[in-house]
Structure 1
C-alpha cells in the first residue's frame, strides 16, 4: 500500500524555472536585484511569473539593503539576486547586516561556468567560502534536479532558529539544464517552547526579585510577540527596556517602558539596569552595543536568558537560567505566571526619570535636529515607519522619538552606512499604505544615493531626510576624543542633495530653519512622491550631548 504526501508534485523544468517555482511556493512576491549575464535564465524564468515583482536596483549593496529592510518589515525572507564575484562582493554588506540583525534572507548569486571553476575565471570567487562567516549556510547547486531540495532547505534555514541569510551559488551552465523536479510542501518553522519546569524556575527567580527588568530584543519582533510581551509585563508590572535599535518592541509611551539601550545611552537608562537585581532577557543576543561594551550586566545581576538560538545563550553572559524558546511561545506560557509585585514605586520612578530625560520640549536654544524630531512627532501618522542610517544624527531620533506602535521602526544593528534609503524602499514595499521616512547623514546617504532613481522608477514614495553637516560626523567625534584638533579624512565637500534628487525625478527641498522643514514635510506628505528633504546642520553640534568645542576641552584637560 502506498500513499502520496499531500502537496507533492513534479514538473519537467530548467533549474532556473525550478527556482522560481520554489519562490512561488514560499510565498515570495518581491525580488531585488542588479541584473547579470551569469543568471539570465533565472531572470527569464521570472519574466513568466506575474506574481513576483522584480525590483532592479542601481547597486548590489542597495538591492541587498532593500531586501533586508523588506524582510524586517514584512517578517518574510528578503530575496536578492546578483552576479558572480563582483556583484556578490558588492552586496555582501547587506548579507552581513542580515546576519548581525537576525534577518531572514535568501541570496541567489550567478557563478561562473562549472567547467571554468578553479581557473580564476572571469569574475570568479569561491562564493561558498567567501560568505561562510557571515551566512547561516552557503551552498552551490551542482545538479539541476537538486534545486527544489536545496532552495527549500535554504528558505527553511533562513527562517528557522535565529533567522539569517543563506547564500546559493548558481553556476551559469546549470541554470538552463532541464530535469525532473520534485517539489515538496513548505516546511514548517519549529517553535520551541519552555518546559513547565523552566516556567516554574522563571517564576521563582522573578518572585525573589526586588527590582526585576525585562530587556526585549529583535526575537520578540520576529516572533510577532509584542502583544504577549505587553500582556505579561502589565500583568506583573514588569518594566521593559528595548535592546539596540529594537525601539518598537514595546510602546515607548507606556508607564512600564524604561528606555532603549543603544549608542550614547542616557544615564538614567543605565542607572535602571544598575539598580535591577534580576534581568529577564528575551529574544536578544545581548550585543556589544546593548550591553555597553559587555559591561552592563555584572555578577550582581541574576540573569534569565530566553532565546531561540542555542548558540546565543551563554556566548557572552552566563545566565542563572537558560531557556531555548521562541519568544512568543515563552511569553504566552509566562502569562500563567502571577507575581506579587513589590516594585511599583521603583518602576514609576525609573519611568519618570526616562520620560524626563527624553522630553521633547524644545526651545530656541535647541539645535535644529531636536526640532526636526518634534515636528516629525507632530506631523507623521502614529503608525509611520522610520528607518535610519548609521551616524550621530540618529542620536536625536533614538533619544527623543517615541515609537508607540509595533512595526514602526527598521534600523541596522550592524551599524551599516548607506542603509537608511534602500531599507526604506524595501519597507515601503512591505507596507505600501504606511508613511515611510528615512533618516540619513550626508556621508551615509551618498553611499546609496543612486537608489533615489530606483524609487522614482518604481513609484515608491518615501520621504528621505538628509542631515548635511559635510562630515563623517561619528568618526569626527571619535577623532576629536582621541586626537583633538587633528582633523583627518572626516571633512566632506558641499553637495546639494535636494538638487540631486530633482535630477532623477524626485522632489527636493533644502531647509535651514524649522519653519522651512515644516513646509517641506507637509508638502511631502501631501504629494506622496519620492521626496528628499536636505537639512543643513552645523558639524559643531556633533552629538546630542556635546559639541566639538566642549569635546576638545574635555579631551585636553
Structure 2
C-alpha cells in the first residue's frame, strides 16, 4: 500500500467520518486515497480557515477529534487562526498538511516553510513524517494526544515524496484514555475544607462539560447548597431557574457577580479554564481555592490553592458525593442575583413581544423561548457575544458555543457546519455581526452544497460595535471601525438560500418558528441602529 492509503486506513481505524479541506498539489495522493474510502467523506471548503473552524466545532460536539487538511505553504498557514482557536478553546482536532519532499527541504523551495515550527506553539504535538514505517503509530498518537485533557490540535506533516511511497499497514488498537481520580485522603481533606467554610462559592468551567460531570455536579450542589456561577463556555450546567444559579461571570465591565464572590470564604473551581479569565480579575481578595480539574492548578498569586483534586472530574465528583457534605444554604447580600437578572436582561415576559424593539437581547429571548434541549446556539465574536454570555440561557449544558479563549471573529458560519454534521438532529442557530459574517461568508456555499440546514442571524450595524465602544470610552471618539455592507438578503439568495429581513420582533418570531419547523438553510438580516 502507498503511504496515503495507510493514512486513510488509520483514519478509518479512528472512526473518522469527515475530513474538511482544500485540495493542493502536495495532497493529491491523500485526497485520491480518501476518495476510495467507504467510511470517510471529504468536504471541500472555500477557505482553509473555514476547514479548521468546522473541524473544531465538529470535535467539540462529537467528542472525538475533527480532521482537516491542507496543502503546504499558504494552504497550511490559512489554517492557523482556526487551529489557534481550537488550541485555546480546547477542541480536539487532527490536522494533516502536505509539504515539499524531503529532497527539497534543505534549500529554498517554492511555498516551502517549516510548518512544524510554525504550528508548535498552537498544537499539543506537531510532527513531520520522516519514515513511512511509523505512519500508523504517528496517527494513533496524534488522535490520542488531541483527546487527552485538555484537548486540542495535533499536526501531522506529510512530505510529498513520502506520500507516494509504500508503507506497511498497521491496525493499531484504539484504547480508551486512562481515568485517574485523587486518592481518598485528598478527597477527605477537600471535603473537610468545604465543611469548615461558611460561605463557599462555586465557579464552573467547560472542563466539567468535557468530562461529562454535569449529573454528578447536580447531586453535589444539592448537598452543598451554595451559589454557582459559570464561565462563558460553561453556560447551561445549572438550569436557568435553579435557586443557586448566579448565571455567568468573566465580563470586562459590569461583572455584577464579583460582589457576591467577594463575600465568600472559599472558592470551589471545577473544570475552569484560566484562559477565559485570569484570577486577578475575579479573586480580588485572594480567597482560598479548592481546585477540581484534570490538570494541576496554575501558579498564581490570585489563585491560592488549599487543596487540588486532580483527575477525571466526573469520577472525582462521584467520590465527593459519597462523603458527608454539610449544607451551607447561604445567599450573597444586596440582591445580587436579582440585580444580575435585571441588568443582564435574563428575566422577560414570554407573552408580550409585539411592542418590543428588535434588539439583540429581545432576539435572544425569542430564541430561548422556542429552543429545546436539541438547540445549539453558536456565537461569533463581537458585541453580541457579550449579550449572549449575559442574557441567553441554554436548556442544556453545552447548548451554546462561545469562543472565549482565542475569541476569533468569523467562526460562527463554518462552526455551524461542523456542529450540524456532529449533531444532525440538532437545531443549529448561529448569531454573527456583519463584520464576522463577511470573514467566512463563502462557506454558505459549502453548507448549501452539502444540503446542511441551520439558521444564520446577521446583526447588521455597519460597524465593529465593540471596538467602537472601547474607543469612545478611551478617547471620546472612534476611528477605523465603520464599513459598508452588501444587501445580506440578496447575497444569501445569490447562494441559492432563503434570506429574510424581519422588521418587528413578532415577525422575527414567526419566521424563526417557520425556519425551525421547515429545517431550511436560511439567513436573517437584522438591521440594528
The TM-score with structure 1 as length reference comes to 0.89
Q: Return closer, same or farther for 1:360/1:203 CA change in 2, 3 Å cut-off.
A: same
Partner SS state of residue 272, structure 1: helix
- Encode CA deviations 1:235-267: one digit per residue, 9 max, x unaligned: 222332211322133323322211212335654
- Whether 2:247 is the aligned partner of 1:255: answer no
Query: Paired residue for 1:237?
Result: 225
Q: Which moved further from structure 2: 467-476 or 341-350?
A: 341-350
1:305 to 272, 291, 302: 291
Following the alignment from structure 1 to structure 2, what is the Cα–Cα distance between the partners of residues 316 and 167?
Answer: 34
Corresponding residue number in structure 2 for 1:181:
169
Matching of residues 66-465 of structure 1 within 5 Å: 66-264=54-252, 266-287=254-275, 289-291=276-278, 294-310=280-296, 312=298, 317-346=303-332, 351-357=337-343, 358-361=346-349, 368-413=359-404, 414-465=406-457
Do the aligned residues in 2 keep the contact of 1:137 with 1:166 (CA within 8 Å)? yes
| 8 Å contact from structure 1 (residues 459, 529) kept in 2 | no
Tell me, in whole angstroms, the C-alpha distance in 1 between the residues paired with 2:491 and 2:290.
Answer: 51
Report the Cα offset of residue 435 of structure 1. Answer: 0.6
Structure 1 residues 36 and 448: CA distance shift in structure 2, 3 A: same
- Evaluate the alpha carbon distance shift between residue 197 and residue 431 of structure 1 in structure 2; reply closer, same or farther with a 3 A threshold: same
CA contact (8 A) 2:3 2:166 kept: yes
Aligned counterparts of 1:63 and 1:256: Cα–Cα separation in 2: 40
Aligned-pair CA distance for 1:203: 0.5
2 CA distance for matches of 1:208 and 1:333?
19
> Aligned-pair distance for 1:314?
5.3
Q: CA deviation at 1:310?
A: 3.5
Evaluate the alpha carbon distance shift between residue 313 and residue 32 of structure 1 in structure 2; reply closer, same or farther with a 3 A threshold. Answer: farther
Contact 1:15-1:145 at 8 Å conserved across structures = no
Contact 1:29 1:53 survives alignment (8 Å): yes
**1:488, distance to aligned residue in structure 2 (A):** 1.8
User: 2 CA distance for matches of 1:260 and 1:526?
Assistant: 31
Root-mean-square deviation (Å)? 2.1
Mapped to 2, the partners of 1:102 and 1:471 lie a distance apart of 30
Partner of 1:542: none
SS of alignment partner, residue 68 of structure 1: helix
Equivalence for 1:547: none
Contact 1:194 1:329 in 2 (8 A): no
- Counterpart secondary structure, 1:332: helix
| Equivalent of 2:487 in 493, 496, 501 | 496
Shift of 1:200: 0.8
Check conservation: 2:250, 2:282, Cα contact below 8 A: no
Contact 1:38/1:110 (<8 A) preserved? yes
Does the 8 A contact of 1:463 with 1:532 survive in 2?
yes
- Give structure 1 stretches of 5+ with no counterpart: 1-12, 539-557
Deviation at 1:268, TM superposition (A): 3.1
What is the alpha-carbon distance in structure 1 between the residues aligned to residue 357 and residue 31 of structure 2? 52
Q: Is the 8 A contact 2:296 2:310 kept in 1?
A: yes
In structure 2, what is the Cα distance between the partners aligned to 1:343 and 1:349? 15
Distance 1:267 1:38 in 2: 50
Per-residue deviation, residues 495-537 of structure 1 (Å, max 9, x unmatched): 2111111111111112332133223313322331211101000
The structure 2 residue matched to 1:523, chosen from 514, 520, 524, is: 514
The CA deviation at 1:126 is 0.4
Secondary structure of the equivalent of 1:182? Answer: coil
Provide the rounded CA distance (Å) in 1 between the counterparts of 2:124 and 2:431. Answer: 30
Counterparts of 1:129 and 1:194, CA distance in 2: 36
Structure 1 residues 22 and 142: CA distance shift in structure 2, 3 A: same
Compute the displacement of 1:319 (Å).
1.2
Do the aligned residues in 2 keep the contact of 1:73 with 1:410 (CA within 8 Å)? no
The verdict on how the C-alpha distance between 1:380 and 1:478 changes in structure 2, with shifts beyond 3 A counting, is same
1:18 partnered with 2:9? no
Aligned residues: 523
Q: Shift in Å at residue 353 of structure 1?
A: 4.6
Question: 2:284 and 2:370 mapped to 1: Cα distance?
Answer: 42
Change (3 A) 1:407 1:342: closer
C-alpha contact 1:144 1:178 (8 A) present in aligned 2: yes
SS of 2:174 mapped into structure 1? coil
| 1:336-376 deviations in Å (ceiling 9; x for gaps) | 12222233445996554544443234785766222211211
Q: Which is further off, 512-521 or 461-470?
A: 512-521
**Which of 23, 26, 42 pairs up with 2:30?**
42
Aligned counterpart, 1:484: 476
Over 3 Å counting, the alpha-carbon distance change for 1:492 and 1:45 in structure 2 is same
